[in-house]
Amino acid sequence: MTKALRTRPLVLDDPLFPDLKDRIIHKTGLAYYQDKDADLARILAGRLSALGLQGCGAYADCLSGSRGQAEMDELVSELTIGETYFFRHPEVFSALRHSILPEIIAANRESRTLRIWSAGCSTGAEPYSISILLKEHFSAELAGWQAVVTGTDIDKKYLAFASRAQYQEWALRATPEPERSRYFEQTPSGWQLRPAFRKHVSFHHHNLIRDALPNSKLGLQELDIILCRNVAIYFSRDQINDLMNRFHASLNPNGWLITGPAEIGMDRPGGFQPVNLNGLIVYRKSDQPVAGAAPVWTAPVLAYPALQTEPTEPLAQSESLVADVVPTVQETSAEDAASQERELMRLADRGQWVAALGLARRVIERADSTLEARLKAIQVLAEAGDMEQAVQTLKRLLFIDRRCLLAHYHLGLLLSSQGDRRMARKAFMNAYDLAVAQPVDEPVPGGEGLLAGQLADMALLRSKHEDAL
C-alpha cells in the first residue's frame, strides 16, 4: 500500500479535516468536493506525503505560509480533471461552422471584431479547435478582423501545457488523417500544433467562481461566443446560476453560450433563449428572461472513433460467456473503486493511454467496480483501439443484466463506429424500448443523472441517424 493510501484514513479522521475542506472549497469554488470526502482525503494524503507533513493542521499552515499560493496551485491541479480533446463533440463544431459563426460574422461586419471564450479550457484543445475552424473555413471573411480566441482555466499546469500546444495521440483521437498532419507537425515528443493555428489564441488564469466577470483585463467582455463545456460538474446549482448571470453580462447582445451535453444543471439558463441546431441545444442571449421555458435536453454526443476493423458479430447471449462473468480479482473497498475511476480519467486526460488501458482492464476485472466505472473503462478500451475487449465487456454486462440500458446504448455506439449500422440500430432500439418502458424521470443506472426519458430521446435520435446514413 502506498504511503498516500495509508494516510488517507488519518486525513478523514483528522478533526481539522472539515475546516480544511471548507477552506479549500471556499478558495477554489470547487463545490464538487462538498460530498466527496474520500476523494478529497486521498488527494490531501498525497500532498501531505509529497510535502512530508503530518495532518490537516500542518497543511492548513502551509497554505497560509510563504509558499501557500504555489501549494494551492499544486492542490488545484490534483483536484481538477481536464479530460478534453480536439473537436470534442463534432456537432458543436458543425453548428459553429454552419450556423453560429456565419451569423455573427454578418452581424459584426462593421466592428470587424470576433471574440470567443473557452471557459475551463483545460489543456487547450477546445480553443485551438476553434482557431483551426476559423482558419480553415473563415479566413477570407475574417481578413483584417480582430478575431481572438481566449482560453481560461483555474489550473495553471493545464494552461502551461496549453501554451506549449504539443499533444499526444489521445488528444487527437477525433482528428483523423489527413487533417491531423495538416494541423500538427509530428515531432519525437508529440504532435505540435502549427503556428498558424496558435496565432490568435491566448491563455489566462481565471477562476470562474471567484474572479471578476465581465473582465476587461483578460478580454472577457463583449464576447460573441462563450463555450463552457464539461466544467459545470464542479459547481453547485447556486454557483451555476450566478455564473449564468455573469456569462450573460459578458456577452454581446445576441451572443451565444454553448454548454456541455451532459450539463443538465446548465439547461434553461435565465436570460438565454434555447436554440435547437440540428439536435444540438445552444443558448442565445436574450433580454427576456426565459421563465417557464420547456425543459430542453441536449443528447450527450458520446462517440467512439471510427475504426477500420471488421464488423463484430451481433450480440448474442452465449453459454460460453458464463465463465467470463465471474470477476477474477476480488477487491472490496468501494472508495478504491472510486479512486480508480478518477485515476482512469486522469491518465486518459494526460495522454497516458497505455497506462489508462491497463487501469481500464483492472476496473473491469474488479468485483466491486461500479457500472459507471465499467462503462468508462469500456470507453477507454474502445478509444485506445481494443474494440474486441470493449465489445466482450459489454456482452458480459448484458449477460449479467439484459436490461442494462446504457450497455445497449454503448453497444450501439461501438457497432456504429465499426460501420455495422444494422446492428447498431438494433442496439439503439433495444435501449429505446427499455427506456420508454420506464417513467421518463427515472434515473438510468450508471447514467450519472441521466433520465430514462432523456436516454430514450438519445437512442431514438441515434437509431434515426443510422437509418439516414
Residue 231 as a binder of ligand SAM (CB under 6 A): the answer is yes
Q: Which of 8, 29, 364, 378 binds ligand SAM (CB under 6 A)?
A: 29
* Of residues 214 and 445, the one with the C-beta less far from ligand SAM: 214
Using CA atoms, how far residue 115 sits from 130, 188, 215, 256, in Å, is 11, 34, 13, 11
Q: Is the dihedral of CA 106, 108, 114, 116 positive or negative?
A: negative
Minimum CB distance to ligand SAM, residue 292 (Å):
29
Dihedral through CA 256, CA 258, CA 259, CA 260, nearest 10?
A: 170
* Contact status, residue 374 vs residue 364, Cβ threshold 8 Å: yes
* Of residues 153 and 420, the one with the C-beta less far from ligand SAM: 153
**CB-hemisphere CA count at 13 Å for 171?**
26
Minimum CB distance to ligand SAM, residue 30 (Å):
6
* Of residues 134 and 154, the one with the C-beta less far from ligand SAM: 154
- C-alpha to C-alpha distance for 104 and 45, rounded to whole angstroms: 49
Minimum CB distance to ligand SAM, residue 83 (Å):
5
* Of residues 192 and 207, the one with the C-beta less far from ligand SAM: 207
Minimum CB distance to ligand SAM, residue 213 (Å):
10
Minimum CB distance to ligand SAM, residue 154 (Å):
4
Residues 84-123, one symbol each (x = binds ligand SAM by CB under 6 A, - = not), give x---x-------------------------------xxx-
Q: What is the DSSP letter of 44?
A: H
Q: Which residues lie across from 223 on neighbouring strands?
A: 251
* Of residues 345 and 355, the one with the C-beta less far from ligand SAM: 345
Minimum CB distance to ligand SAM, residue 243 (Å):
9
Residue 230 as a binder of ligand SAM (CB under 6 A): the answer is yes
How are beta strands 113-119 and 146-153 bridged, if at all? parallel
* Of residues 77 and 389, the one with the C-beta less far from ligand SAM: 77
Displacement of CA 67 from its chain's centroid (Å): 31
Q: Maximum Cα–Cα distance for the chain, whole Å? A: 69
Minimum CB distance to ligand SAM, residue 225 (Å):
13
Minimum CB distance to ligand SAM, residue 349 (Å):
8
59 Cβ contact list (under 8 Å, min separation 6): 20, 44, 47, 48, 51, 53
Q: Which stretch binds ligand SAM (CB under 6 A): 80-88, 137-145, 295-303, 350-358?
A: 80-88
- CA nearest to 237, candidates 209, 206, 195: 209
Residue 263 as a binder of ligand SAM (CB under 6 A): the answer is no
* Of residues 158 and 197, the one with the C-beta less far from ligand SAM: 158
Residue 150 as a binder of ligand SAM (CB under 6 A): the answer is no
Residue 155 as a binder of ligand SAM (CB under 6 A): the answer is yes
Residue 243 as a binder of ligand SAM (CB under 6 A): the answer is no
Residue 379 as a binder of ligand SAM (CB under 6 A): the answer is no
According to DSSP H, which parts of 36-151 are helical? 37-51, 55-64, 68-79, 90-95, 101-107, 125-137
- CA nearest to 219, candidates 285, 125, 149, 159: 149
Q: Which of 14, 39, 153, 263 binds ligand SAM (CB under 6 A)?
A: 153
Residue 209 as a binder of ligand SAM (CB under 6 A): the answer is yes
Residue 218 as a binder of ligand SAM (CB under 6 A): the answer is no
Dihedral through CA 415, CA 459, CA 397, CA 80, nearest 10?
A: 100
Q: Which of 81, 429, 436, 460 binds ligand SAM (CB under 6 A)?
A: 81
Q: Which residues lie across from 366 on neighbouring strands?
A: 329
Minimum CB distance to ligand SAM, residue 146 (Å):
24
- CA nearest to 404, candidates 378, 426, 375, 439: 375
Q: What is the amino acid identity at position 387?
A: M
Return the number of other C-beta atoms located less than 10 Å from residue 385's C-beta: 15
Residue 229 as a binder of ligand SAM (CB under 6 A): the answer is yes
- C-alpha to C-alpha distance for 28 and 424, rounded to whole angstroms: 43
- Which residues of the chain form contacts with ligand SAM (CB under 6 A)? 29-30, 80-84, 88, 120-122, 126, 153-155, 158, 207-209, 229-231, 234, 260
